[in-house]
Chains A and B, each alone.
Chain A
Amino acid sequence: MASGEVLGAIKISKSYPGVQALESIDFELRAGEVQALVGQNGAGKSTFIEIISGALRPDSGQIMVEGRAYPYLEPSKSIELGIQTVHQENQLVEELSVAENIYLFDLPGNRLGLVNYAQCQKAAGALLAELGIQVPAGRKMTQLTFIEKKLVSIAKAFSRQAKVLILDEPTASLDEKGKNVLFDIIRQNTGKGLGVIYISHNLGEIFEVCDRVTVFKDGKKVATHAVAEISMNTVVQEMIGRTTSSLYAREGGKAGTAAGAALEVEDFSREGVVDHVSFDVRPGEIFGIGGLVGAGRTELARMIFGLDPKDSGRLLLRGKDITPASPFDAIQKGIGYLTEDRKDSGLILGRPIFENVSLARLAKSLRLLLDLGRERGETGDISRQLDIKTPSLEQRVINLSGGNQQKVVLAKWLFAGSEVLIFDEPTVGVDVGAKSEIYRMMENLARQGKVIIMISSDNPELVAVCDRVGIMRDRKLVVVLEGEQISEENILRYSMGVGERD
């Protein structure tokens, strides 16, 4: 094994308005090693990878490739230097063959400038054989399975000279067999001096295949350890860090365990998306749903709201079946859904506040004509109740701050008379002040008897706000935490599947 540095970073920083995404990151990848990159959602892993692969420019700092310093890399430069990235989502052209995809940016030509398909296929075949991937080079991508496509994208990374391989959640869609093929490829090539950056939430895999692990938290590097000298527990601890000040204190304390169920979520399931999820929400409580991005939380919420089809699932509000067939039906039955991305599917950004607030209620009503005066008055009342800060109700929503936008979405559902409110990542892009306002509103609504469910990837938020927290992993609800059990550490353990193993 060679042991020189193939890739390094010196004091790399990157900030976005209001967020320090990366703060003075130092990093070193040695030839022949597999180094894991771990951290909670939003810790800065993706930003760091995008800087290394040239998709983003850092604000300051340097990238070192084989001893040479670069202030930033362009994507093409990064590839030319031998840094190859396999993204989480497949980035292949479905209509082309395996061979064409592998050599897409460097198709072998003949003297006339035409593509030499025979040579292309031969080279791809040889590459696939060398890597131990059993996929015919001439086959069209559309005919491949999910797993085969993933393996092709890995092969593609090796089609050009690769000194550094970045794998972003490479096993997310792989089965055991695919994983073994991948791990073999990694072991073979690290033996030849390849350096691998391995991003994963699966600590088990990391401990199986990686040499060192680097922990990111809140845009900073916490530490790098040799895997052999550290336990999974320590890694989890470092990912959480020490949270000193409490984020938010509930006014009336947590509701505790009132008897009975206000809302029963029964056996929601769709193959490959959500796996038989059931839970109850008790009267007066805020029920949290935690887990990693991609665990099936938003998909569950969309099914509960009637947005997406389901194989099974029943929703009972105080014993009454309110399973909705469509969003329209859901609204009739008193369900409101504050979507994960309010700009994408929560708000009509170009329209005024009052139109946004009254929309769901209008959809529910059967009146032909609008009562503009009454609408103005009532949407004004509710906007004042929620303290939406704006000079006028005519203000277009696009001009509001994130917190006020979220309040407009909430106002819409309250105005429509929703009894069940599902908040999906309600405080993303919301400033600290507005955050606690939103928590306070959720708390008050729960006290008034509304059923509140909050999906969040912000674990401190789940700990501070929720009475109970269900954790989803791999499409299943694996545990419901209560009382003292609700801690960042437990949420993270169950999210990543470390809890049961240790």
Chain B
Amino acid sequence: MNSAVATVGKKKTRITQSIVLIGIIVAICAVTSIVNPRFLRIQNIINIFQQISILGIVACGIGMLLVAGQIDISVGSQISLMGVIIGMVIEKLVGKPIPGVQAWQAALAIPLAVVATLVLGFLMGLLNGIVVIKSRAASFIITLGFMTAYHGAALLTSGGYGYSLYGHFELLGRGRVLNIIPIPILFFLGVVLITYLVLKYFRYGRFLYAIGGNRKAAYVSGINTNRITIIAYVVTGMCSALAALILISRVGSATATTGDAYGLDALAGVIVGGVALSGGRGNALNIFLGVMLIGLISNALIIMTIDPYMRDVIIGLIIIIAVTIAQYTSERE
């Protein structure tokens, strides 16, 4: 009897990928702190985390979707639309001079805005998922359509103007626990932790990998591939909802484009984190590191007083390099 099945795990690919990311992050930190020592101050580090919190929440949703071999590029417009709804609800109910606001209005507005956002996030995810499945078309194309539609809906809702929260609803985006740790960071870390647990310890996460790895084989193995996929879109929509709430709370106002950049930036983070576009690969740690890298680059450029417009150029190049490297390594296998 050949007992060749050893129990010792060999996690070569994942560790090397994470290590490369950590290496790059350390290198950027080193260079930046030499150029400007203020980079390493606690306050700046907290800043960086705060800046990537929203991005990270969105990235976790997209990341899980990508693991299942799907993509949703409408996420940015989803956030903008929900942002406008939040702004509208709050401005309509409690906006304008504070003395004129009745107590019931103030008590109602924020819960209403929160519930409306979560419901809307749920519904947009559900709609995206169902249409992607039923149309049998590429998810990129379908969600491209939704991106435009949600953008239009946001413009319609805002009437072309923005809404201001007049200082209401500040806690979620600007509050700090113990006066030190910003609340968004806690949500961010919480979502990353949940993503980690789902992908590693839940049957659902296992099915995401299976579907992303080989949809046909997953179906033949008895997995309800359609349902799992639709749920992944819903989860992404819910992550967008949470991101929208934190974003609008932090910014204090909402226009039809407030959240637009988050969709593609989050996607960039996920891809840089080594989640394969073809599906079946990726994990929460790498999504976290990918987002870190994107956030760090933005911060480092500011700290080093480089033209902030350079940021997009650099991030674009990084995506291209990351995908190219991933392509070559997977081909070699």
- A contact residues vs B (CB 8 Å cutoff): 305, 307, 327-328, 330-332, 337, 339, 344-351, 355, 359-360, 362-365, 367-370, 372, 376, 380, 383-384, 387-395, 398, 412, 416
Contact = CB atoms under 8 A, between A and B. Distances in A.
A330 B203 contact: no
Given A355-B209, A384-B5, A367 B217 contact: no
Interface in B76-113: none
Contacts of B2: 387, 389
Chain A CB within 10 Å — which of B201, B222, B224, B281 has the most? B222
A350 B280 contact: yes
25 contacts: A331-B222, A337-B220, A339-B217, A339-B220, A344-B216, A346-B220, A348-B210, A349-B213, A350-B213, A350-B214, A351-B210, A351-B213, A355-B206, A355-B210, A362-B207, A364-B222, A368-B204, A369-B201, A370-B203, A391-B4, A391-B6, A392-B5, A393-B6, A394-B11, A416-B222
A339 B217 CA distance: 9
A376 to B, nearest CB: 7
B223 interface: yes
B202 interface: yes
A359 B203 CA distance: 9
A359 to B, nearest CB: 4
A367 B6 contact: no
Contacts of B6: 391-393
B161 interface: no
Interface string B192-208: 00000000011110110
A370 B221 contact: no
Given A348-B210, A394-B9, A394-B11, A359 B223 contact: yes
A135 to B, nearest CB: 31
Contacts of A412: 221
B280 A351 contact: yes
A364 B7 CA distance: 25
B1 interface: yes
A330 B222 contact: yes
A389 B3 CA distance: 8
Given A345-B217, A351-B213, A364-B222, A388 B5 contact: yes
B140 interface: no
Contact of B202 (A327, A345, A359, A368): A368
Determine chain B's interface SS by DSSP, over half rule: loop
Interface string B6-49: 11111100000000000000000000000000000000000000
Contacts of B222: 327-328, 330-332, 359-360, 363-364, 416
Nearest to A365: B203
A384 B223 CA distance: 26
Contacts of A332: 222
Nearest to A363: B222
A347 B215 CA distance: 10
B7 A345 contact: no
Interface of B: 1-11, 201-204, 206-207, 209-210, 213-214, 216-224, 280-281, 333
Contacts of A348: 209-210, 213-214, 217-218, 280
Given A346-B220, A389-B2, 13 more contacts: A327-B219, A328-B222, A344-B216, A345-B217, A348-B210, A348-B217, A348-B218, A355-B210, A359-B218, A363-B222, A389-B4, A392-B8, A392-B10
Contact of B9 (A330, A337, A339, A392): A392
A208 B217 CA distance: 44
A307 B220 contact: yes
B14 to A, nearest CB: 10
Nearest to B280: A350
B8, B203, B210, B220: most-surrounded residue (chain A CB, <10 A): B220
A434 to B, nearest CB: 13
A390 B6 CA distance: 8
A370 B216 contact: no
B203 A327 contact: no
Nearest to B219: A327
Residue of A372, A380, A392 with most chain B CB atoms under a 10 A cut-off:
A392
Contact of A390 (B5, B202, B207, B281): B5
Contacts of A370: 201-203, 206
B1 A387 contact: yes
Contacts of B3: 384
A218 to B, nearest CB: 31
A331 B221 CA distance: 8
Given A384-B1, A393-B7, A349 B214 contact: yes
Nearest to A387: B2
Nearest to B281: A350
A380 B7 contact: yes
A412 B217 CA distance: 11
B331 to A, nearest CB: 12
B221 A367 contact: no
A351 B209 contact: yes
A337 to B, nearest CB: 7
Contacts of A339: 217, 220
Contacts of A393: 5-7
A327 B10 contact: no
A363 B213 contact: no
B10 A376 contact: no
Name which of B7, B210, B217, B219 has the most chain A CB atoms within 10 A of its CB.
Answer: B217
A362 B203 contact: yes
A363 B221 contact: yes
B286 to A, nearest CB: 15
A376 B333 CA distance: 25
Contacts of B206: 355, 359, 362, 370
Contact of B217 (A346, A365, A369, A392): A346
A395 B10 contact: yes
A388 B207 CA distance: 23
A345 B216 contact: yes
Contacts of B220: 305, 307, 327, 337, 339, 345-346
A410 to B, nearest CB: 13
A436 B259 CA distance: 61
A412 B6 CA distance: 19
A390 B4 contact: yes
B187 to A, nearest CB: 23
